[in-house]
Structure 1
């Protein structure tokens, strides 16, 4: 066994040789560089031929994310677009809806930033722009799914969220998924946001982003980005406009259209139909369609947000038997996200939506897409029907077209290679809901308001459409359409040009002098006009048109106006003058006024006709109110309005005993002093209350006396019943009646004897009353304390001493006497 040398005390510690430290960081960095070089080599040598994700030159992190999300096979657009994007080329990708375009640009974003060794210190590296918040949220969800193994920081920048939190986090983001408006807001307002180093710009639904709606916003964003970036554009209907592409500074862009040579621009598993439905029958047809598909998952597209709200609210109250949701651009972001989540998780239901849902959103297992209103163009139609039959599944779509829209719109669909077949609605299944909608509008003013707004929004949307061959507002039956919504009349639409718009414009632009000459009557007409009707010739002077006449002729000044009653006198009970037989040619304007409550019956009316009717009166608590107009008569049907005219009552309050009395009010100091001093008023009040309490005490004693008498009667009855029971028990003894008689004697047996009732005298009743009362009666709150009580309280116990104590012994004796 080897010996161990122990160092002596105070000697220095022995020095050992340090081991060689392995430089792990350096080796890891070298290994990463080798992997990166190998990855670059694989990308450069890739021949664009792959069918699965495992064949692509991807990093281990991206491959792990794809495997975890169960993505295995490449789609057509992914197989052609991803290799080009990995090589750094600009790509314009066009493919059918539901073909996997999202992965076609997310995978290149992750791979290119990884190959460029991007970190959080390098700032923003990729910008992904989406036209809607819902689509941006969906893209961000997929990015987190497949990019969770990377070290990049990503963020979602859309409207409806806290701008401060986004500003604080934008400086740390490597990948940003955003909407155009919100991103431009941050470029203008967020201090220190640097986008000079952006490597990739991605536009999803590029045709929508580059059109007129986002033109100025996208131009402002692109102006801040470097020109040496890579640009990827994807959409189901890709733009080929040279001007649009030039704005993005594309460099040798590759146009990838995998389905351009296909027979149809829509998915193969999609069955498409259209119906010719008049405008005023669309709601009836939609209601019948939903009632026939209660177990299906349906999306119903409409033009305006107000239409979506009105149809959702009315169908919900009609209890259609199907879960109903609605989604449009006017909702709060939290509500929009919740509705999208609920509909995606539902197995059946109906979602009423605008075109905010038309692009890119993936709702699982949608059975039907119903377009109640015609889309603005064929491209929008393709995006709408793309919500069903996604990822090579089956689906069906139906389009409602007005008769004036059928021929031109079908031509546009055929030009886009959209196979659509005409079908007719089944008459047996048709069901009218017009009367039910009228009832809802009559009961609920808010539903009527929504209906008016829906009518106006639809008409305005039709009037601003570019394709005037399809959308012809003047050929639509607007009055019937308003009636189908449950409205009593078509609201006036401001800003919409009707059929006579040109004529009205010419009349407005004509000189005033010329219009005056055209409207000037002849000399004979100025004096009088003669009419002949029913063989009776009568003359009438030319009427002067007043502001009331013009007001009556106006209808629906705005969408909030009530539908006023016709003010023409057509009451069958009205007695007209003999020379005034044609009541329809004259308008009656009546007003009734009153100056105060005391003069309610005084009315003043101004009429423009000789028609006389007997005025109605209403009794208002002893006062009569004359009703001389239909407006006042309608107003008086309201209890609230009648309460305003009735005399005011006196406010009462209730005390603890439930008795009502007038409200107590504090009296002024001067008025209080005028009634006398406080002491005098107190004595007078005590005297009055004392008399009232004495009277009440007499009544209380009488009531108490009656109660005591009743108790005594009940006690006597109980004693009598006990005696009878005891006598009955004694009479049924063993000795029997005969033996008792034989024994004889004074003590033999019980005699049938009943003592007479005892009558108490008044003195006994008073004594019993004093005994029951027991303790001394308490003094009332207003009674003064008796002198003997006051003296007794003040004195306490009194001990009289013969002499005044002089010594200590005398004081002790006095104290012991006081202590007892």
Structure 2
């Protein structure tokens, strides 16, 4: 069952009623098509009903929205709201789309009890939100930034608050909301109930849990594992191609697969725009979705996609966070995700509600290790396939022509064309006439196609598969994103490095002699941030010598850099007043740092 949507997993009165959910809510769930609680719901609902704090590890698509909203709505209904103003429950989510989705689900669940839910997010009318808050609502679902705005205005108060939920907490931290989350939690009553749901448990999540949760019940739910002998709902396949041939390979695979509706994931906004323009030029109905679009633009794109007026949605991970569209037949990773969690999040958007889905990944030869890591962590095999050849493509197109002609014959209504055929049959062979007609139809879809060099798998020294490139011209490609601290030349710190002669040097990196302050910068790999960009900005704008810049870490949505404590504030002020790679970014001390 997908979060907030009526799904195959569903819930009956006996299933949810046995867990303690309010009878009227359980009865309403039957009408919504729910049958049985999912594992995360079975594990989280009882302790939440008892008023305990919960720390849950659960990915999108496991049914977590119902897991926290059903018991909290039940508690409001049975024990009533606390005396005071403001909502009884506050749910914090990372994106506008997820706020709308969760609010819709909470509205459905609470409708039998007359409970009101309100989504509060940026990009929407502040005036309308203020009026709704003043009228009074039971549950507020908010993005962190807009929640802070309302708290400062005094329009969001917590006198009557009994529970707070942090949904997709890891994503909120990756998007740079750590400071806002701390401010919001500090403004809520100390004796509130708190639930934290996250797909992963990095140290920063652990820090928040330790500070704000009281003896939490730990819940960990893995994604559904397909039993042996059963067919998987999602077919996973990877095509290994050089970067120069990715675009034509994607177009060719889409031509063969013929997706009814697909999401293509890219790492950056620039890549999203370029890919959507190229695919549109090829005659495909493609739309871009990323954080650079206005909220109105994003809404229009999603309306078209849900209405199936768009075949391909080209998106970044953050922009697509929280989207729940049942009819997605294919998910495409234009680049290999840097971690297994991102991969699982992406492919979970297809194969829903019992449907078959396909997950396609395009990997460069150097990304073999990333594929192996994903296989190892998910416990699922990714099929390595050859990009369809020109002959495969032509055979597929001719089969489509054959099917089209057959349908036209079965439909009938051909009388107006028989006279033309009969006149030609008097002077030409009837088979030649038919073949010429087929040729003309096929010519509409035929085009000049060049072969894409094959990349064949081979076992490497460790017995695991590696790849030979068909074309050796693409030796360099783009440098892969790497985890961990780096020195000023962008090389990983703590590893052996090569000297000018090519010999390995085991010389350890010298630790800084100054007391370090760690700064948080709101741009990372998704915006193609490199260590050299940060070093250049700090050196040029703050007048800091490069030798005074310490360890740099680049994550997906943010970066951290160490500088001497004595100049930390000067560096922060300098970076706040300038642009890095043409972008204005948030800069502050890293709250999760040492």
Instruction: For 1:334-413, list aligned pairs within 5 A.
Output: 334-346=296-308, 349-413=311-375
Question: SS in structure 2 opposite 1:92?
Answer: strand
Distance 1:242 1:351, change over 3 A: closer
Structure 1 residues 468-526: Cα deviation after superposition (integer angstroms, max 9, x where no partner): 99xx999xxxxxxxxxxxxxxxxxx9985779x99xx9xx989xxxxxxxxxxxxxxxx
Q: Is the Cα contact below 8 Å between 1:219 and 1:247 reproduced in 2?
A: no
User: 1:304 is matched with which residue?
Assistant: 268
Q: After TM superposition, give the deviation of residue 359 of structure 1 in Å.
A: 3.6
* Residue 400 of structure 2 is aligned to residue 422 of structure 1: no
Of residues 145, 155, 158 in structure 2, which corresponds to 1:195?
A: 158
**2-structure distance, mates of 1:80, 1:191:** 36
Instruction: For 1:708-787, list aligned pairs within 5 A.
Output: none
Q: After TM superposition, give the deviation of residue 355 of structure 1 in Å.
A: 0.6
User: 1:274 is matched with which residue?
Assistant: 238
Of residues 90, 93, 103 in structure 2, which corresponds to 1:127?
A: 90
User: 1:291 is matched with which residue?
Assistant: 255
Of residues 483, 487, 498 in structure 2, which corresponds to 1:466?
A: 483
Q: After TM superposition, give the deviation of residue 60 of structure 1 in Å.
A: 4.0
Q: After TM superposition, give the deviation of residue 71 of structure 1 in Å.
A: 1.8
**2-structure distance, mates of 1:495, 1:104:** 37
Structure 1 residues 36-80: Cα deviation after superposition (integer angstroms, max 9, x where no partner): xxxxxxxxxxxxx99622434333432343233222221122122
User: 1:585 is matched with which residue?
Assistant: none
**2-structure distance, mates of 1:193, 1:135:** 20
Distance 1:62 1:462, change over 3 A: farther
Q: Is the Cα contact below 8 Å between 2:169 and 2:205 reproduced in 1?
A: no
Q: Is the Cα contact below 8 Å between 1:328 and 1:356 reproduced in 2?
A: yes
Question: SS in structure 2 opposite 1:390?
Answer: coil
Instruction: For 1:656-671, list aligned pairs within 5 A.
Output: none
Instruction: For 1:441-520, list aligned pairs within 5 A.
Output: 466=483
* Residue 21 of structure 2 is aligned to residue 58 of structure 1: yes
Question: SS in structure 1 opposite 2:300?
Answer: helix
Q: After TM superposition, give the deviation of residue 418 of structure 1 in Å.
A: 4.6
Distance 1:494 1:142, change over 3 A: closer
**1-structure distance, mates of 2:296, 2:216:** 38
**2-structure distance, mates of 1:170, 1:241:** 31
Gaps (5+ residues) in structure 1?
Answer: 1-48, 435-458, 475-492, 511-557, 560-820
Q: After TM superposition, give the deviation of residue 252 of structure 1 in Å.
A: 1.8
User: 1:216 is matched with which residue?
Assistant: 179
User: 2:111 is matched with which residue?
Assistant: 148
Structure 1 residues 443-469: Cα deviation after superposition (integer angstroms, max 9, x where no partner): xxxxxxxxxxxxxxxx9x978763699
Relative contact order: is structure 1 or structure 2 higher (C-alpha 8 Å, sep ≥ 6)?
2
Structure 1 residues 524-557: Cα deviation after superposition (integer angstroms, max 9, x where no partner): xxxxxxxxxxxxxxxxxxxxxxxxxxxxxxxxxx
Distance 1:494 1:270, change over 3 A: closer
Of residues 57, 63, 70 in structure 2, which corresponds to 1:107?
A: 70
Q: After TM superposition, give the deviation of residue 410 of structure 1 in Å.
A: 2.4
Q: Is the Cα contact below 8 Å between 2:350 and 2:358 reproduced in 1?
A: yes
**2-structure distance, mates of 1:144, 1:131:** 19
* Residue 50 of structure 2 is aligned to residue 72 of structure 1: no
Distance 1:417 1:205, change over 3 A: farther
* Residue 126 of structure 2 is aligned to residue 163 of structure 1: yes
Q: After TM superposition, give the deviation of residue 143 of structure 1 in Å.
A: 1.4
* Residue 147 of structure 2 is aligned to residue 183 of structure 1: yes
Q: After TM superposition, give the deviation of residue 363 of structure 1 in Å.
A: 0.8
**1-structure distance, mates of 2:216, 2:232:** 29
Distance 1:279 1:291, change over 3 A: same
Distance 1:404 1:55, change over 3 A: same
* Residue 279 of structure 2 is aligned to residue 315 of structure 1: yes
Question: SS in structure 2 opposite 1:330?
Answer: coil
Moved over 3 A (4+): 119-122, 235-243, 245-248, 260-264, 357-360, 415-419, 429-434, 461-469, 493-499
Q: After TM superposition, give the deviation of residue 334 of structure 1 in Å.
A: 2.4
Q: TM-score normalized by structure 1?
A: 0.45
Q: Is the Cα contact below 8 Å between 2:13 and 2:23 reproduced in 1?
A: no
Q: Is the Cα contact below 8 Å between 1:268 and 1:392 reproduced in 2?
A: no
**2-structure distance, mates of 1:497, 1:463:** 13
Q: Is the Cα contact below 8 Å between 1:205 and 1:359 reproduced in 2?
A: no
Q: CA RMSD in A?
A: 3.9
**2-structure distance, mates of 1:280, 1:86:** 55
Q: Is the Cα contact below 8 Å between 1:128 and 1:201 reproduced in 2?
A: yes
Structure 1 residues 297-351: Cα deviation after superposition (integer angstroms, max 9, x where no partner): 211001122222222223213213xx32222122222232232233223297211
Q: After TM superposition, give the deviation of residue 356 of structure 1 in Å.
A: 2.6
Q: After TM superposition, give the deviation of residue 380 of structure 1 in Å.
A: 1.3
**2-structure distance, mates of 1:68, 1:350:** 33
Q: Is the Cα contact below 8 Å between 1:119 and 1:152 reproduced in 2?
A: no
Gaps (5+ residues) in structure 2?
Answer: 1-11, 394-446, 451-475, 492-526, 547-580, 583-594
Q: Is the Cα contact below 8 Å between 1:154 and 1:175 reproduced in 2?
A: yes
**2-structure distance, mates of 1:371, 1:423:** 15
Q: After TM superposition, give the deviation of residue 110 of structure 1 in Å.
A: 0.8
Structure 1 residues 146-193: Cα deviation after superposition (integer angstroms, max 9, x where no partner): 2112233321101111112222322322211111111112222x1353
Q: TM-score normalized by structure 2?
A: 0.61
Question: SS in structure 2 opposite 1:405?
Answer: helix
Question: SS in structure 1 opposite 2:244?
Answer: helix
**2-structure distance, mates of 1:55, 1:375:** 40
Distance 1:260 1:355, change over 3 A: closer
Identify, as 1 or 2, the structure richer in strand: 2
**2-structure distance, mates of 1:57, 1:497:** 52
Question: SS in structure 2 opposite 1:292?
Answer: helix
**2-structure distance, mates of 1:130, 1:151:** 23
Q: Is the Cα contact below 8 Å between 1:295 and 1:348 reproduced in 2?
A: no
Distance 1:307 1:200, change over 3 A: same
Q: Is the Cα contact below 8 Å between 2:110 and 2:116 reproduced in 1?
A: no
**2-structure distance, mates of 1:66, 1:162:** 32
**2-structure distance, mates of 1:360, 1:237:** 16
**1-structure distance, mates of 2:320, 2:218:** 24
Q: After TM superposition, give the deviation of residue 293 of structure 1 in Å.
A: 3.1
